[in-house]
């Protein structure tokens, strides 16, 4: 009887260990990051802002364009870093939209958007083709403005 009681006790301990190991594996598997990409709503918001900027260019809407920008806008172009305030941007785009007509404003490649895990910072890299930008002519002037 003693031998069978020990065998029974060992079998229960072994089964208990297997059960705990199985539960640990299940727990770890459910806690592990999924290999399926999650929807990233904050990055989708950045991409939506990019589309708002596109519409603002076609409609020459300076205020709509500025509404999507921070108080200080930092851009990188051709290796140069540029910082501009809202007032500087308003002046720049008012003049720019006054003389420009857009026939295209399209992405040459998909934009790259990233938002920090705490959603406190985000950035986007875009490469846009403005198409054939024709200059408007001023009412009292026959030559095109550049």
Q: How many whole angstroms separate alpha carbon 111 and alpha carbon 36?
A: 21
Percentage above 90 pLDDT, the chain: 40
107 forms beta bridges with: 128
Q: Is pTM beyond 0.85 here? A: no
For the chain, first and last CA: distance in Å? 103
Q: Which CATH class is domain 41-135?
A: alpha beta
Contact yes or no for 54/63 (Cβ under 8 A): no
Q: What percent of the chain has pLDDT over 70?
A: 62
Structure tokens at 114: 């990233």
Residue 36 reports pLDDT greater than 80: no
Which H/E stretch holds residue 22?
helix 2-31
């Amino acid at each position: 009887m003693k031998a069978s009681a020990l065998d029974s006790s060992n079998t229960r301990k072994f089964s208990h260990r297997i059960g705990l190991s199985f539960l640990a594996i299940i727990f770890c598997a459910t806690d592990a990051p999924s290999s399926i990409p999650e929807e990233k709503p904050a990055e989708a918001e950045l991409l939506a802002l990019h589309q708002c900027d596109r519409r603002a260019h076609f409609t020459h809407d300076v205020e709509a364009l500025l509404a999507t920008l921070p108080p200080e806008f930092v851009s990188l172009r051709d290796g140069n870093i540029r910082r501009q305030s809202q007032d500087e941007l308003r002046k720049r785009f008012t003049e720019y939209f006054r003389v420009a007509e857009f026939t295209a404003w399209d992405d040459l490649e998909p934009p790259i958007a990233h938002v920090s895990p705490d959603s406190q910072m985000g950035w986007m890299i875009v490469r846009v083709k403005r198409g054939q930008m024709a200059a408007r002519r001023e009412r009292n002037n026959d030559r095109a403005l550049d």
